[in-house]
Chain A
Amino acid sequence: MMKLAGVAGIFLVGFFGAVAYADPAEDTLILNEDIKMVTKTAAPAHLSDVMDEVYSGWLFRGTETRAMQADDFDNPGMLFVEQAEGVWNTVEGSEDKSCASCHGASEEMAGVKAVYPKWNETAGEVRTIEMQVNDCRENQMGAEKWGYTSGNMVNMTALLASVSRGMPVNVAIDGPAQSVWEDGKELYYTRTGQLEMSCANCHEDNYGSMIRADHLSQGQINAFPVYRLKNTKLNAVHSRFKGCVRDTRAETYSAGSPEFIALELYVSSRGNGLSVEGPSVRN
């Protein structure tokens, strides 16, 4: 509440005392009556000076939306996972290979999504899982790259997330990835656009509050990609970033840009310890 310092006495007593904060739901996510998800946990060490606990966006959605995500038969995102499963096993490109030719069954990829974005030593860069998928397509399969937020790509990231569900997000922020992480952190706190708002303004300082009709979450990305009831499709992390930056009346960065890669690494690290949840359901 630093921002209120100057007039703290008046506001805190006079107004905030009367405001009913809509806290995260008191609820537990058990996937398919089987896997218990961590939707709330101690904040990672690098956040200890700004918050005590991190929460999945699931806890900020309504009862029905939460229920849809708890059962694969009710989660529309799982239809896209099935489509991606078909693609996983389909041979494409000049090398006559499918993803399965190198990696085996998709379940073999359990744990992979949990550590992305990740430093790639050979390439000397931080890679998102989309970048890695396209690297496999081009250099292992001799197939064409997919568009960064294309249907095929977001479906494939949903498949890769789905087989890691319940595992803790655990992206590395030290070593060679650290400078990219610092860039992402800087972006997170930069107040952009004509409305001069940063990610932190909404998702760190005001989560739990209503902004017009929206119940603000911590803007975590452990649950991506998300199936949105609003546009009835899967939405990629960088599409969400674009939407939020646009809403500050700013010129956005593009999907797959170095800025959003850095921001993704940083925002992922804010959710270290939460379960991988994708594909999730949101309004």
Chain B
Amino acid sequence: MKYSGLALSIALATSVSATAQEVSPTAVSFTDGAVAQSLSGVAGDAAQGRMVVGNKSLGNCVACHEVSDLDDVPFQGEIGPPLDGAGDRWSEAELRGIVSNAKIMFEESMMPSFYKTEGFIRPGKAYTGKAADDTFGPLLTAQQIEDVVAYLTTLKD
């Protein structure tokens, strides 16, 4: 049973139309897995991004990735590669693409798509086990993605 993508994208388009600069999750344009254009039109805040990466109820990236810079966050996972040096290995556009929808850069990746609202099988209402309703939105907001990208670019070896 697929989520009705059409209804959802309409709901989202109206809810974000207030912020003129924002690119909606269904309108993101990928080139070789990278996204050149800022999703929010507002420069990312690396300190804010650092918080999103470590926070269990936001990015929770450390569930799968170790980040030495976040040594204050306990229990870092080892499913994906450590993010140390990610800012050397990838350009800003590539990082934006990976965080928005990693499956375009890495086929079949286990990494969740943080800026995507369509094409899910049995999407739920967060962690309730119930079906998604009209509050359904991407895992992170456009600005949170920009903040995370700004933080990742600071991770240099």
Contact = CB atoms under 8 A, between A and B. Distances in A.
B78 A19 contact: yes
15 contacts: A3-B107, A11-B81, A15-B81, A192-B120, A193-B123, A194-B136, A205-B110, A206-B79, A206-B110, A210-B79, A212-B64, A212-B75, A248-B124, A250-B129, A251-B130
Contacts of A6: 106-107
Interface string B72-113: 001111110110000001000000000000010011111011
Given A195-B112, A246-B127, A251 B77 contact: no
A3 B120 contact: no
A11 B103 CA distance: 16
A209 B110 CA distance: 14
B124 A194 contact: yes
Nearest to B107: A6
Which of A10, A206, A212, A248 has most B Cβ within 10 Å?
A212
Interface string A13-43: 0111011110000000000000000000000
Interface residues of A, number: 40
A10 B139 CA distance: 28
B132 interface: yes
**B contact residues, range:** 35 or more
Contacts of A249: 123-124, 126-127
A251 B122 contact: yes
Contacts, number: 100
A213 B62 CA distance: 10
Contacts of B113: 196
Interface of B: 56, 60, 62-64, 74-79, 81-82, 89, 103, 106-110, 112-113, 120-132, 136, 139
A193 B129 CA distance: 9
Given A210-B75, A212-B75, A251 B110 contact: no
A95 to B, nearest CB: 38
Contact of A242 (B62, B112, B125, B129): B129
Contacts of A21: 78
B139 A194 contact: yes
10 nearest A-B pairs in the assembled complex, by CB-CB distance? A15-B81, A213-B75, A246-B129, A212-B63, A252-B129, A251-B131, A195-B112, A251-B122, A250-B124, A250-B122
Interface string A225-262: 00000000000000000100111111110000000000
A242 to B, nearest CB: 6
Given A190-B121, A210-B77, A3 B108 contact: yes
Given A191-B121, A212-B75, 8 more contacts: A11-B81, A192-B121, A192-B122, A194-B120, A196-B113, A210-B77, A212-B62, A246-B128
Nearest to A21: B78
A7 interface: yes
A242 B122 CA distance: 13
A197 interface: yes
B151 to A, nearest CB: 19
Which of A16, A196, A213, A247 has most B Cβ within 10 Å?
A196
Contacts of B81: 11, 14-16
A19 B75 CA distance: 14
A211 interface: yes
Which of B75, B77, B103, B124 has most A Cβ within 10 Å?
B124
B72 to A, nearest CB: 15
Contacts of B56: 212
Contacts of B136: 194
Given A193-B124, A252-B124, A3 B131 contact: no
A63 interface: no
A193 B122 contact: yes
A27 to B, nearest CB: 22
A207 to B, nearest CB: 11
Interface in A176-205: 190-197, 201, 205
